Amino acid sequence: MPDVSSRPHREDVSIRQRIAENPGPALGWLAGALLLFALEAGAVVHFVTGLFGSPVELPTLLSRELIPNNGYQTPSGAWQETFLGLPAAYAWALRVVLVYAYSFVWMYWLWRGYLVFRENYRYADWTPRDDMIDRLRGHRWGQFGAIIVFAFVVMALFAPALGPTTVERTISNPYSHSIEYYNDQGQLENITVGSANLDSRSQGTPQQNVGPMQYDQFGRFHPFGTLPSGKDMFTFMASGARISLFIGLSAIIVSGLIAAAFALLTAYYKGLVDLGVVIVGDSIMSLPRLLFVILLTVVLSGTWIAEIYSGAVILALIFAGTGWPFLWRSVRGPAMQVSEQEWIDAAKSFGQKPRVTMRKHMAPYILGYLLVYASMSLGGIVIAVAGLSFLGLGINPPTPEWGRAVDIGQSYVTTASWHISFIPGVMIVLVVTAFNALGDGIRDAIDPQSETGEGEGNEAAAATGGGA
């Protein structure tokens, strides 16, 4: 036991100094994190260099190059060019399992990191956050949400590695790529992906349909079946998940920042500032949201910003611009509450700068509420983006978006190709329900009284299909 009194008080030492004093656990954790990162560093390098030009290829653990599932079946039934000669479906499934296992290990490692911090570097033995985490651990409904959200986020992050094929090969540029297969005469034949797709279309008849978990005649495995154009639907969905998550997250982050800033300012200064924001917010809320978003999407469709990431950036900005008053409304109450507390008065009379007071004494209190409503509205954005693509607006084709798959499959719902419309809809329902459930979980964790207190206010905040 070192002599505590001879050193500055633990609370006054910055986290960096605390780690410098006892680097062991932190270094151990960091080494593990680096090891985990190194396995997938190639994918990150690929992505970053891809933003500035032609991407750099590096060996990566969880890539389709290392565990290929695109091969062909010889007449004797053996598989060529797939991973270890496994059937295409198993090779693909193996890759999916590995990707999820890898992500799970990451999750576990981050949790370990938090524990390391808690045990070795945090000055307080106990903080209210510990209780929140304990409550979240007993919240089955919230955990259900967290698991689905985790699955969705991993699907979006690893979209290129998860699909049985890539967007480039099957959707955007199918005639520049080719595959090999054994034709009816038993000869190895080369065919472009585009021509192969023409024979693997899902057109509603049992003869012309590739359903979920089926092979087409070229030995390509389609976990979700194919689209009416013969393109692989799982690849489409994974890539669509990425764009949905991108729009949802960036819109929520931007509108969350605006909402938090306004909530703090209005709660701190009250009076005219509050009135001004109320009027601006109410005016934006008085425009029917979906119709206004449709209007903005059409009006801004010709601008340069609508070209970035197939229109995802402009959509995110539109949703942020129209969505912040809803978030602000929901954190305004808690912000007002905290601004009435004695410690705010104390901070004011100490002569603390308003900015510091808001950041240090008010922001932490509303952050939890913001998280709850952000999680719940994220589902609404996913639905609205899908609704826009369903109408043919928003994300420019051919970039995949879930709503477009629903649109494409409309006329096949009662036929053999039911999967085209059905699967995206079920996935939207799952993701939206999961974000709502996660929001419920966080709410009960930060505010255990809310279940009996003001539950109905939060109920209404949950995202519903009514938005689109």
Partner 1 sequence: MSRWQYFAKRLLLSIPVLLFGTSITFLVIRAGPLDPVSAILGPQGDPQAYNTIRRQLGLNQPLWQQYIDYMVNMFTFNLGQSWVLQPDTSVYSLVLGYAPRTIWLGFWSVLIAIFIGIPLGFYAGLNPNTFSDYFASFGGIVWRAMPNFWLAVILMSVLSQSEKFFFGFDWQTFLYSTNVTGPPPLPDPIWKLFTNPDQFVRALKKIAPAALVLGSASMGNEMRIGRTAVLETINSNFIETAKAKGVPPRSLVWKHIFRNALIPLVPIITGEAFILIGGSVLVETVFDISGIGFLFFQAVKNGDMPLTGSLMFIFIVLVVLINIVQDLLYTIIDPRVGYEGGA
Report d(CA 352, CA 72) in Å as an integer.
Answer: 71
Instruction: Label residues 38-61 b or e (16+ Cβ within 10 Å = b).
Output: eebebbeebeeeeeeeeeeeeebb
460 in contact with partner 1 (CB under 8 A): yes
Considering only CA atoms, which of 334, 341, 340, 344 is closest in space to residue 372?
334
Considering only CA atoms, which of 183, 213, 176 is closest in space to residue 199?
183
Among the listed residues 114, 428, 438, 439, the single contact to partner 1 using CB under 8 A: 428
Among the listed residues 173, 192, 203, 464, the single contact to partner 1 using CB under 8 A: 464
Stretch near partner 1 under the rule CB under 8 A, chosen from 28-36, 194-202, 231-239, 452-460: 452-460
For partner 1, the closer of residues 80 and 410 by Cβ is 410
422 in contact with partner 1 (CB under 8 A): yes
For partner 1, the closer of residues 190 and 286 by Cβ is 286
467 in contact with partner 1 (CB under 8 A): yes
**In whole angstroms, how close is the CB of 150 to partner 1 at the nearest point?**
18
**In whole angstroms, how close is the CB of 201 to partner 1 at the nearest point?**
19
Which contiguous run of DSSP H or E holds residue 214?
Answer: strand 214-215
Stretch near partner 1 under the rule CB under 8 A, chosen from 43-51, 148-156, 238-246, 419-427: 419-427
Ramachandran class of 352: left when φ > 0, alpha when ψ lies in -120 to 50, beta otherwise: beta
308 in contact with partner 1 (CB under 8 A): no
462 in contact with partner 1 (CB under 8 A): yes
What is the crossing angle of helices 128-137 and 140-157, to 10°? 90
Among the listed residues 387, 394, 439, 441, the single contact to partner 1 using CB under 8 A: 387
- Interacting positions 332-351 with partner 1 (CB under 8 A): 333, 336
Among the listed residues 28, 288, 354, 364, the single contact to partner 1 using CB under 8 A: 288
136 in contact with partner 1 (CB under 8 A): no
HEC string for 151-209: HHHHHHHCHHHHCCCCHHHHHHCHHHCEEEEECCCCCEEEEEHHHHHHCCCCCCCCCCC
For partner 1, the closer of residues 3 and 456 by Cβ is 456
Among the listed residues 96, 436, 439, 445, the single contact to partner 1 using CB under 8 A: 436
433 in contact with partner 1 (CB under 8 A): yes
Instruction: For residue 226, give the 3-state DSSP assignment.
Output: strand
Q: What is the DSSP string of 54-83?
A: SPPP---TTSTTTS----EE-TTS-EESSG
Structure tokens at 102: 């890898």
Structure tokens at 405: 């798959």
Considering only CA atoms, which of 406, 420, 448 is closest in space to residue 139?
448
Q: Which residues fall within 8 angstroms of residue 57, CB to CB, at 6 or more apart? A: 42, 46
258 in contact with partner 1 (CB under 8 A): no
Which residues sit at the interface with partner 1, rule CB under 8 A? 274-275, 278-280, 282-292, 294-296, 298-300, 302-303, 333, 336, 379, 383, 386-387, 390-391, 403, 406, 410-411, 413-414, 421-422, 424-425, 428-429, 432-433, 436, 452, 455-457, 459-460, 462-468
